[in-house]
Chains A and B, each alone.
Chain A
Amino acid sequence: MNTEERQLAEMLHRVTPEPPRRVTVEDVAYRLASEPQREPRSRRGSIWKHRGWTPLLAALSVFAIAGVSAGIATVATSRHGTQTPNDGTPPATAPASGSPSPPAPAQSPPPSWETLRVAGGMWDAKLINRLSFSQGSLTGGGNSLYAVGDGSLVRIDPASGAVLRTTPYSAPVIGRPVVAGNTVWVVWSYGGGGIVLRGYDASTLAQVASVPVSATGGVSSQAQGVLAAGPDGKLYVAAGDTVATVDPASRQVTRRIQLTAGQASSVAVSPDGSKLYVAAGSFQLLVYDLATGTQTLSSSMPASGGSLLATAGGVWGTTGTGMSEWVWFAPGGNLTRSFRVSQGAGSGLASLPSYGGGVVWIGGSHELVCASPATGRAMARTPIPADHSVVEYFDSVTVLSSGHTYALYQDDRARLAGVASLTPPRACSG
């Protein structure tokens, strides 16, 4: 080697970091054991033969109508298109925004899906249905799952995977439905000077509330995760340069907190109800004492940030865009102490953090992580395999009161998507 080659060799050894974790024999054994058992590709893609033109055209009509009423941009950012259940039930048509009489929710007879093992059996992942929903939209309440896709909010039976109820809904901003008590709350419209929240009965999905909230100073163009519920059931919504508190019982705005750092793009409430976390501008994290309404902390990050999630130890959020999106944890809501939790969360909306079963979950296309809500440290992680180098996704992990864990799954190569049941390792038991 000449001098230059020696310098290069020395530099490579000096700069190349130590790996965050080692590969173990168990990793290799698992891979070896699981790969031969992966489902044949033809079978994975076979669901598409069930697709007919009727549901496809109907879904397109829903897309068009919902796009006009609720803003087509949000729908277009969704990577999924809801596959209408192949049960002969026509999909509901979205009414014009602000329609006073809610349409009757549709009920679908449960189709029979064969449980399908996916992602090489990672965390015993099995599809319980073959329906596609918007990334990051799955959530749980009681013993039901709720998700959003092409013009519908749906209630899913976790036992069979069947869609039990649907109601017209197109999300105007990124964010999952919020289940508070017996009501599923969504942001119905979000733009200009007005915001409308709607509440649906958690069982029937019949509309039970519609709450207008004015947004002073216009809503944030980076809005993402604008609705949160406190432990007392009150709702908090990012409303321009304020955060509005909505009492679900009276369906009134009962309080406003004025921000000093631009428009709110995301909100989260600590589990004990003492702190309100607000993402504002691009990007400041503000912490408010909810008892007094005073700001107690402000810190910033030289990047965009959003989709806040509050836990006992602090606040979680995302930064970056698209495949570069990743998740950070800020202890006590202080960004100057923040650190990255997930290595290459990947895939934008798929990496939004969620809380369930006492732990925080982060999905994506690279790895599935469960982390401590107190410290932000990963308690277990597993790589998400790729399908012939094409990424597969797990996102919006949800743990129901039964203790069962679910997530949205997608394999673009196999054109396969659905709700997956997971059996995470014991380390993920909060």
Chain B
Amino acid sequence: MSRALTSLEVLPVDGRPTEPDGFREFVEARSSALLRSGWLLTGDWPSAEDLVQTALAAAWPRWTSLTRQDAPELYVRKIMVNTFLRWRRRRWTGEIATARLPEMQAYGDAFAQVDARQALITALDRLPPRQRAVVVLRYFADQTEAQTAAAMGCSVGAVKAHASKALARLRDAPGLAELMTGGVAS
């Protein structure tokens, strides 16, 4: 198991971290997909960015070893999911950084798109965090059941159970059935 680097190791002479080989290419290629996963998990872009940056910052010091194992994206997604689950475990009663913007009947935005996104996020909000994470990893990030189980630190059986329960809930979510059977393009 790799150890976390100290700030002195990450921050060399000029205070700027040394960029590992291949990291920039990965970020440029995958940041959009990771952000979209983050949006599905959190429901808003600032939190999604926070999630992705957190995961990438965690991956940075381990990048060489992750690329040797050919698994940097798996690791980044694992950190994203665990960070998301940790955020959701917190019992804090004040304002939270995941404000849901009221998607006004946006001028210049297609009404149907806005409705579809709201219906989707509302439905995902109703899922327990682990079921939501399974939906995102399995059906959006196209991870196998085994990869999803590894990312979430649970068994394949648990992933199947979460997926089944999530599907049952989503089936009853208002407006989602129409979206799943053909709805509005983004």
B94 near A412 with CB under 8 A, answer yes
B32 near A16 with CB under 8 A, answer no
Question: Closest CB-CB distance, B176 to chain A, in whole Å?
Answer: 8
B139 near A23 with CB under 8 A, answer no
B97 near A389 with CB under 8 A, answer yes
Q: Within 8 Å of chain B (Cβ to Cβ): is A241? A: no
- Measured between alpha carbons, how far is A11 from B181 in the docked complex, in Å? 8
- Measured between alpha carbons, how far is A28 from B18 in the docked complex, in Å? 11
Q: Within 8 Å of chain A (Cβ to Cβ): is B19? A: yes
Question: Closest CB-CB distance, A194 to chain B, in whole Å?
Answer: 35
Considering only residues 334-358 of chain A, those with a C-beta below 8 Å from chain B are 335-340, 343-344, 346-347
Count of chain A residues with Cβ under 8 Å from any Cβ of B? 58
A17 near B53 with CB under 8 A, answer no
- Measured between alpha carbons, how far is A347 from B95 in the docked complex, in Å? 8
Give chain B's interface secondary structure class: helix
Question: Closest CB-CB distance, B72 to chain A, in whole Å?
Answer: 13
Known: A17-B117, A19-B45, A28-B53. A9 touches B27 (CB 8 A): no
| Residue with the greatest number of chain B CB neighbours at <10 A, chosen from A9, A12, A22, A346 | A12
- Measured between alpha carbons, how far is A303 from B102 in the docked complex, in Å? 10
B60 near A32 with CB under 8 A, answer yes
Known: A8-B180, A326-B101, A390-B94. A32 touches B17 (CB 8 A): yes
| Residue with the greatest number of chain B CB neighbours at <10 A, chosen from A7, A23, A324, A367 | A23
**Smallest CB-CB separation from B56: which chain A residue?**
A28
A322 contact set on B, CB distance < 8 A: 95
Interface Cβ pair total, 8 Å cutoff: 180
Known: A11-B183, A16-B39, A391-B95. A302 touches B139 (CB 8 A): no
Q: Within 8 Å of chain A (Cβ to Cβ): is B158? A: no
Tell me which of B46, B99, B107, B116 contacts A383 (CB under 8 A).
Answer: B46
Interface code B1-15, partner A: CB below 8 Å = 1, 0 otherwise? 000000100110001
B102 near A366 with CB under 8 A, answer no
A9 near B101 with CB under 8 A, answer no
A344 near B139 with CB under 8 A, answer no
- Measured between alpha carbons, how far is A365 from B113 in the docked complex, in Å? 26
A343 near B11 with CB under 8 A, answer no
A22 contact set on B, CB distance < 8 A: 28, 31-32, 35
B34 near A23 with CB under 8 A, answer yes
Tell me which of B57, B95, B142 contacts A28 (CB under 8 A).
Answer: B57
Interface code A1-34, partner B: CB below 8 Å = 1, 0 otherwise? 0001101111111111111111111011101110
B36 contact set on A, CB distance < 8 A: 16-19
Known: A339-B107, A412-B94. A383 touches B17 (CB 8 A): no
A390 contact set on B, CB distance < 8 A: 92, 94, 97
- Measured between alpha carbons, how far is A7 from B97 in the docked complex, in Å? 31
A12 near B32 with CB under 8 A, answer no
Q: Within 8 Å of chain B (Cβ to Cβ): is A192? A: no
B104 near A366 with CB under 8 A, answer no
- Measured between alpha carbons, how far is A2 from B151 in the docked complex, in Å? 22
Q: Within 8 Å of chain A (Cβ to Cβ): is B133? A: no
Known: A25-B27, A346-B99. A8 touches B167 (CB 8 A): yes
Q: Within 8 Å of chain B (Cβ to Cβ): is A36? A: yes
B116 near A15 with CB under 8 A, answer yes
Tell me which of A5, A367, A383 contacts B139 (CB under 8 A).
Answer: A5
| Residue with the greatest number of chain B CB neighbours at <10 A, chosen from A19, A21, A301 | A19
- Measured between alpha carbons, how far is A113 from B130 in the docked complex, in Å? 46
A389 near B183 with CB under 8 A, answer no
Going nearest first, the 8 A-B pairs with the smallest beta carbon separation are A36-B7, A323-B99, A19-B35, A366-B46, A9-B139, A7-B180, A12-B140, A23-B31
Q: What are 15 residue pairs bridging A and B, where the CB atoms are less than 8 Å apart in the complex?
A: A5-B139, A15-B186, A17-B36, A19-B35, A19-B49, A33-B11, A33-B17, A302-B105, A303-B102, A336-B107, A337-B108, A339-B106, A343-B46, A367-B46, A386-B97
Q: Which residues of A contact B (CB under 8 A)?
A: 4-5, 7-25, 27-29, 31-33, 35-37, 301-303, 319-320, 322-324, 326, 335-340, 343-344, 346-347, 365-367, 383, 386, 389-391, 412
